[in-house]
A = this chain, B = another copy of it.
Amino acid sequence: MSLPAASLPETFSAAAVLPPSREAVETVTRALAARFGNRLVTSLAVRQQHGHTLTWIPNQAPDAVVFPQSTEEVSEIVRLCAAHGVPVIAFGTGTSLEGHVNAPFGGVCIDMSQMKRIVAVHAEDLDVVVEAGVTRKELNEHLRDQGLMFPIDPGADASIGGMAATRASGTNAVRYGTMKDNVLALKAVMADGSIVQSSTRARKTSAGYDLTRLLVGSEGTLGIITEVTLKLHGIPEAIAAGVCPFPSVKAACDATILTIQTGLPVARIELLDDVMIRGVNLHAKLGLPETTMLFVEFHGTEAGVAEQSERFGEIAAEYGGGPFEWATKAEDRSKLWQARHDAYWAAKALRPGFDSVATDVCVPISRLAECVEETKRDIEESGLIAPIAGHVGDGNFHTQPLVDLNDKAEVERVQAFIDRLVKRALAMGGTCTGEHGVGQKKIKYLEQEHGPEAVAVMRTIKRALDPQNILNPGKIVVL
């Protein structure tokens, strides 16, 4: 299952991070055990469970896992770790894909799963304050009775803290934005243990540096997010969703591009290629035609949704798409979107027993058709099985090669494919990751994307805010 430890990202510099001494780790662990009792766990199983998530990086277990129940407790833990130079890794649900929560230098994993309070729902202001451990589904469950929803939906039922830390998005981003657009404020514990409230509940502010947006997407390397204030949205009066087959990836992308360009306020527009549809059919026992499909959804008033659906139908027909199949019943819609959200697992159904390497890029939408088509050709030419699914309204798509991690040549072929995918996206004015984040696996692309000057600025910020490099070391930037 695991790559040998020798394949640690080559970008790690031994000099940059000092792994803590055995004594430091033991001192910290003893002190945490005394303070937190059975909320401090050092069993191998639990440590490994926290050190190997949905990534092909080898298991890198922390030395201990602690389960705080308040921001103040997180602060205590960080202070203790800071005093002894021991790394601290925040952990939500462990569903990140690029090695975000692995502990390459050991240290203390802070599992936020016992911080699940919904602190306050301000229905009249359309916002909510939650602790970091609340998951998106738990939050929506809580909100439903009040006619409210939180739309950001990565495939997994991730924690809100983790979603903020990785700048997550999902199928609704084309309409509702990403975490960067939906986090109003954060509470975070900084590297010295100080507790920072990044902003207020005001919808707009120009009161100083945007600490909220600096922390969103910082992957636990600048501060540990303990509480999040989120924008909410009313559950739409009317929802229309459906699936539409297309003769080719290009036709589906072109229909998407026109939809966005004409300003049709589509809430979701998801592409699944023929390979992914085959996986979805296998996994979710659906009988979809095995061709490129768009899954779409419209939110609005009854009249608005009808108007939007009709317009989209015309656009699809222009590119040879159709017939459109509408899921009018709520449970049919749920089944459809559950199938989409389970794409990660559906993909694995295509090559049972193998591992998968999920990755994503995002390009300006005018280049989307070209980028997806070239990528499909590349997959074929590389002899890989790699379904494609994408939040194509944003120009963002995923691919997920299924790989035998024990086959070194295949692993190399996958890595070379991802390198080419990123290079292709960057050449088209895109980014090396639209929503998965950097973690460990995409560090090496940051300079290609941003240039050395911008990465130097990131490094300066990291050094200034975490001079000891104890917050999730070895992720995003290498010191």
Cα separation A476 to B210 with both chains bound (whole Å): 12
Establish whether residues B209 and A364, one from each chain, have CB atoms under 8 Å apart when the complex forms.
no
Given contact pairs A394-B203, A435-B206, A196 touches B364 in the complex (Cβ within 8 A): no
Establish whether residues B195 and A453, one from each chain, have CB atoms under 8 Å apart when the complex forms.
yes
Across the interface, which residues of B come within 8 angstroms of A464, CB to CB? Answer: 460-461, 463-465
A227, CB-defined interface residue at 8 Å: no
A285, CB-defined interface residue at 8 Å: no
List the number of copies, as a whole number.
2
Across the interface, which residues of B come within 8 angstroms of A197, CB to CB? Answer: 450-451, 453-454
- Please choose the segment from A76-84, A240-248, A256-264, A321-329 that sits at the chain B interface, where 4 or more of its residues have CB less than 8 A away: A256-264
A442 to chain B minimum Cβ distance, whole angstroms, is 7
Question: Which residue of A169, A216, A304, A451 has the most chain B CB atoms within 10 A of its CB atom?
Answer: A304
- B190, B218, B395, B434: the one contacting A453 at CB < 8 Å is B190
A213, CB-defined interface residue at 8 Å: yes
A424, CB-defined interface residue at 8 Å: no
Across the interface, which residues of B come within 8 angstroms of A177, CB to CB? Answer: 181
Cα separation A455 to B233 with both chains bound (whole Å): 31
Establish whether residues A209 and B362, one from each chain, have CB atoms under 8 Å apart when the complex forms.
no
Establish whether residues B204 and A214, one from each chain, have CB atoms under 8 Å apart when the complex forms.
no
Question: Which residue of A213, A391, A435, A457 has the most chain B CB atoms within 10 A of its CB atom?
Answer: A457
A123 to chain B minimum Cβ distance, whole angstroms, is 8
Cα separation A236 to B208 with both chains bound (whole Å): 33
Establish whether residues A458 and B208, one from each chain, have CB atoms under 8 Å apart when the complex forms.
yes
Interface residues of A (CB under 8 A from B): 122, 124-127, 166-169, 173, 177-178, 180-181, 190, 194-211, 213-214, 216-218, 222, 233-234, 236, 257, 260-263, 301, 303-304, 307, 362-366, 391, 394-396, 425-426, 429-438, 442, 445-446, 449-451, 453-458, 460-465, 476-477
